[in-house]
Structure 1
């Protein structure tokens, strides 16, 4: 039988109150009746009173929850004992029971709880009421200190108050190690805090240990990138960071993010004093007590996390969406283009090749009409691909590239219409599509961009004009026409603009002709150049960084706006729109103008990055000159919180305790 306990309690409570109310109500009722035997109005007044009393009693019985309000419970659970005892020695138990003073819960055990030395077979960790049971499944090592770092995974069951930085330790030997080292892990390219990265120590100082053996002591970074490795024995160590994809506590996959510290780590400690303040009330100090405590060093270690420039190269796909063009898509960038060998056509001088910046996307525009009219093109593609040993190896694929079915149907339909003269309507002139990107208003430093649907065969620059409005007349001004260094179909038109003036950009028909015979139609666009009063400027005087270097100006979303090299310790940004800016400096060790990652085998760190530690508010006509010492502030304090994508975990919300 199912019992509704809430309803049963209300039922019992109601009749208990009715039973005890009978005597008082009956006595009061009789008295009133005797006094008002002949007064019917008084009797009618009594009946509602009794009804109200009964209703209030019933409602009070139904409200069995605790009343709202009361002080907020902000006290975390209290550790009261364990089996074995905390910091015990010569322990052989693999089952550990932790006791607390109230009901507790565990959150994100796999992410937050870390055991040292690391366990290949993950232990079982289960909460139950006021206790936590830990079953260690790996064999316990002799003469070893074990630490179970719960971070803030433990909290009370009702209010969620976390028991932060709780670590349980024991030793299988006759001593227990208590040393600790601390620091921060930042993403090397943008100084973002790295959350959830393993940080480990090796007493074996050989370089190969990081790639072959699991860590001896380990920790995991929190949302601020902070870590503390505990339970360390005196000695000398190497420090590493690892995003451990395969959970073997070693750098065995090239895709894993890593970090390594150049200097040897020697844990130590020193006695320090701190002041504890006792308050009489919120404004009056009662007593200041000095207390001695042990502080472990080093505590400001910095690791810069990076992923090696590793990739798995292969041909993702090939396609022929239109008859006169086919495309190859590769998984990664390449130093060279693939070699094409025609099987049912002659590949010599057959294409115009359009490649991406990294050679990972390549379009082949077929010039010969006899070739692109074939329904299927057969070709051999030779390139370097990554084999099972992660080495680049020559490979040749044979491809059959057929015209898409829709293209074939369109071709057949057009042929049928041509055969039937009565059904063939007059065809409109088809022009080569040209996308003219002419900003309006035009920035004083900007230019016009022309993008064509097909590669060009010829350009008539004399059929292209820029006119400047002087008073009421339009005057031709000099222009410069250039093709993009990478894009086959992209061109630029440059001109020395006069601020606040009006211009026209105009092209005649037949100004541009594509390799398949189409030409552009005439076009005209008008625009105005912005005033110099619209802009501001920021000038950095850079010190504390190795040269060569460059500075990237960033918006408040950490997006790059401009990039300039540091010349004579100066980085100048002109013609800036009003807004909020920050800046990032990159030590460009190889001088290639981009940030480069590191390589562990070569013991090469990623190129160092620094952030200007303030957000800069720029207004029109302002010129801000900033002195920037890249070493003045520790790297983990440089990047502004509003720029960070990895935000610190929010404090758990405190609920009002219901009593």
Structure 2
């Protein structure tokens, strides 16, 4: 009896151990992806009549983020059911499939092993409901049109001209695509199992899941002309080592969408792409909005109100409705791009301000703006009104003066009165009482001091308390600002010789960290650009092909098939060294 009990106990343990696969403990870490052993029906089958297919692997697998990773083309109305059965994945369709149609099921990184989560990347199952299976392919990269960075999670859609009532160009706005793919983290996409036809390619960051371009702020990209897929002269086999037909360790030459020219950068690629077919480069942008809108308004500091628009605020009138305009109680300043308007206001003792914003005769907004931030300490007693300090910042902010540059002070409200009778400017070895100053702007918000700027020298400005008042009565505490002129040997010089082989209007940008532009120069012909007093760091160059000559980068427009203005980067970053002069040449074609 005891023997029988022990036997059944051991059998039960073994049974449950076999029924529940778990990650093994110890040993070397598993880095291998699951291997496909077979499919049912066979991958690439024609005359598919079933409502499901199964993929068998050499180890236990699971699905991760299936609804987002797995893409089916042509798209289905209802999502399939995905099930794991031991070492198999089963996909069951919940609707009737189209007749005589080739379907591709792209799994992305959805299928992983249960031990370490290693994905079988980019596996595609293809079948046809007709007598033959389409076998053409198409591949490409989606990049940001301005930065040329790859764009991930972008839908890439193909359309066929098979609608009697909707034109082909209108399809991305109105109907779901015929084929659908999605970019990976390197911006790459591909289609398999395509039929021989000409397709319209459209890419989109779909913000509402509609699979159509129906929101004005969705990023889009397109190829100017219709494109055709290509046959890859290799069979489709079920293994991770040679998935679908793609080679390993080859170089990718990307073809430009509109110009049909090779991209200036050569990218190393893995087995995602085939070198037998064209790789299309699609550039993504957000169309310029046509209707002026107020994006936001905010009190950026006491008595300073800012209105931000989505476009240059042409013919915009901002009228306040709370105060009779008997005196000048605010000054208005417009940003360089004309899309931001800042009000510098006198303190009129108001808690709120009613504002009407109009463009021509159209009312854009009617606002009630709170002018004071909520009191965070409401119980605090105020026996007397506290003095409000005069806000300021040095010019330049880092207080390091370039050769010939004079120091200054920028205030945040217009200055009403200033008396520097007791102020002191220490100019190298000279001490100047009551130094001369000039206002540097029409709003009287910046002052500058004349100095004898000598290399590697120190300067100090001392201004006594209550010497400067703005028009709200705020006055300065005692100011002590130290400036210094740079030591030229600690900086470098960079010369860039531009050959304008493109014969176009160009904008040459010098930048740090790609998004911080230090200087922009408009170039029409061959020229030499000299950049002095550069800190010893790495710099980059970018060119914008300024087609319309407006001095800035412009986006495209799908309705007119206008691409965004072309941009390119210089082939490398340039390291500037202290006390060195560097010369580079750039032939822009």
Change in Cα spacing, 1:219 to 1:66, as seen in structure 2 (3 Å) is closer
Matched residue, 1:347:
325
| Separation (CA, whole Å) in 2 of partners of 1:564 and 1:445 | 21
Aligned-pair CA distance for 1:180 = 0.9
| Separation (CA, whole Å) in 2 of partners of 1:518 and 1:158 | 67
Aligned-pair CA distance for 1:338 = 4.1
Aligned-pair CA distance for 1:511 = 6.2
> Can you give the 5+ residue segments of structure 1 that lack an aligned partner in the other structure?
13-64, 274-293, 386-391, 418-426, 632-659
Instruction: Please state whether the residue corresponding to 1:397 is helix, strand or coil.
Output: strand
2:343 aligned with 1:363? yes
Matched residue, 1:132:
89
Change in Cα spacing, 1:430 to 1:381, as seen in structure 2 (3 Å) is closer
In structure 2, which of residues 133, 151, 157 is the aligned counterpart of residue 200 of structure 1? Answer: 157
Instruction: Please state whether the residue corresponding to 1:533 is helix, strand or coil.
Output: helix
2:411 aligned with 1:452? yes
Change in Cα spacing, 1:71 to 1:106, as seen in structure 2 (3 Å) is closer
Aligned-pair CA distance for 1:179 = 0.8
2:505 aligned with 1:548? yes
| Separation (CA, whole Å) in 2 of partners of 1:149 and 1:340 | 57
Change in Cα spacing, 1:399 to 1:162, as seen in structure 2 (3 Å) is closer
2:394 aligned with 1:394? no
Tell me, yes or no, if the aligned pair for 1:342 and 1:379 is still in contact at 8 Å: yes
In structure 2, which of residues 572, 579, 585 is the aligned counterpart of residue 614 of structure 1? Answer: 572
Matched residue, 2:245:
none
Instruction: Please state whether the residue corresponding to 2:43 is helix, strand or coil.
Output: coil
Tell me, yes or no, if the aligned pair for 1:550 and 1:563 is still in contact at 8 Å: no
Change in Cα spacing, 1:312 to 1:441, as seen in structure 2 (3 Å) is closer
Of 502-511 and 236-245, more deviation after overlay is shown by 502-511
Matched residue, 1:383:
358
Change in Cα spacing, 1:510 to 1:152, as seen in structure 2 (3 Å) is closer
Change in Cα spacing, 1:240 to 1:160, as seen in structure 2 (3 Å) is same
Aligned-pair CA distance for 1:401 = 5.3
Change in Cα spacing, 1:192 to 1:488, as seen in structure 2 (3 Å) is farther
Of 260-269 and 458-467, more deviation after overlay is shown by 458-467
In structure 1, which of residues 315, 323, 327 is the aligned counterpart of residue 305 of structure 2? Answer: 327
Instruction: Please state whether the residue corresponding to 1:306 is helix, strand or coil.
Output: strand
In structure 2, which of residues 176, 188, 199 is the aligned counterpart of residue 226 of structure 1? Answer: 188
Change in Cα spacing, 1:140 to 1:430, as seen in structure 2 (3 Å) is closer
Matched residue, 2:279:
300
In structure 1, which of residues 560, 564, 589 is the aligned counterpart of residue 520 of structure 2? Answer: 564
| Separation (CA, whole Å) in 2 of partners of 1:252 and 1:316 | 23
Aligned-pair CA distance for 1:257 = 1.2
Change in Cα spacing, 1:131 to 1:69, as seen in structure 2 (3 Å) is closer
In structure 2, which of residues 273, 293, 297 is the aligned counterpart of residue 313 of structure 1? Answer: 293
Matched residue, 1:31:
none
Tell me, yes or no, if the aligned pair for 1:200 and 1:215 is still in contact at 8 Å: yes
Matched residue, 1:587:
545
Higher relative CO (Cα under 8 Å, sequence separation at least 6) belongs to 1
- Show CA shifts across 1:342-369 (max 9, x none): 35x31354422344625546435137xx
2:115 aligned with 1:158? yes
Change in Cα spacing, 1:542 to 1:137, as seen in structure 2 (3 Å) is farther
In structure 2, which of residues 485, 492, 509 is the aligned counterpart of residue 536 of structure 1? Answer: 492
Please report the TM-score for the alignment, with normalisation by the length of structure 2: 0.75
In structure 1, which of residues 576, 582, 585 is the aligned counterpart of residue 534 of structure 2? Answer: 576
Change in Cα spacing, 1:269 to 1:526, as seen in structure 2 (3 Å) is same
| Separation (CA, whole Å) in 1 of partners of 2:31 and 2:426 | 75
Aligned-pair CA distance for 1:575 = 1.1
| Separation (CA, whole Å) in 2 of partners of 1:88 and 1:125 | 20
Aligned-pair CA distance for 1:599 = 2.2
Change in Cα spacing, 1:542 to 1:201, as seen in structure 2 (3 Å) is farther
- Show CA shifts across 1:63-110 (max 9, x none): xx989547967363223121x332222323332222233322222323
Please report the TM-score for the alignment, with normalisation by the length of structure 1: 0.68
Tell me, yes or no, if the aligned pair for 1:78 and 1:102 is still in contact at 8 Å: no
Aligned-pair CA distance for 1:583 = 2.6
2:48 aligned with 1:91? yes
Instruction: Please state whether the residue corresponding to 1:146 is helix, strand or coil.
Output: strand
| Separation (CA, whole Å) in 2 of partners of 1:179 and 1:404 | 63
Tell me, yes or no, if the aligned pair for 1:178 and 1:233 is still in contact at 8 Å: yes
Tell me, yes or no, if the aligned pair for 1:111 and 1:196 is still in contact at 8 Å: no
Instruction: Please state whether the residue corresponding to 1:151 is helix, strand or coil.
Output: coil
2:226 aligned with 1:264? yes
2:459 aligned with 1:503? yes
Change in Cα spacing, 1:378 to 1:195, as seen in structure 2 (3 Å) is closer
Of 328-337 and 259-268, more deviation after overlay is shown by 328-337
Aligned-pair CA distance for 1:539 = 2.2
Instruction: Please state whether the residue corresponding to 1:185 is helix, strand or coil.
Output: strand
- Show CA shifts across 1:573-632 (max 9, x none): 22111122333222233444433322222322222221223232221122222223456x
Change in Cα spacing, 1:172 to 1:305, as seen in structure 2 (3 Å) is same
| Separation (CA, whole Å) in 2 of partners of 1:516 and 1:127 | 72
Matched residue, 2:586:
628
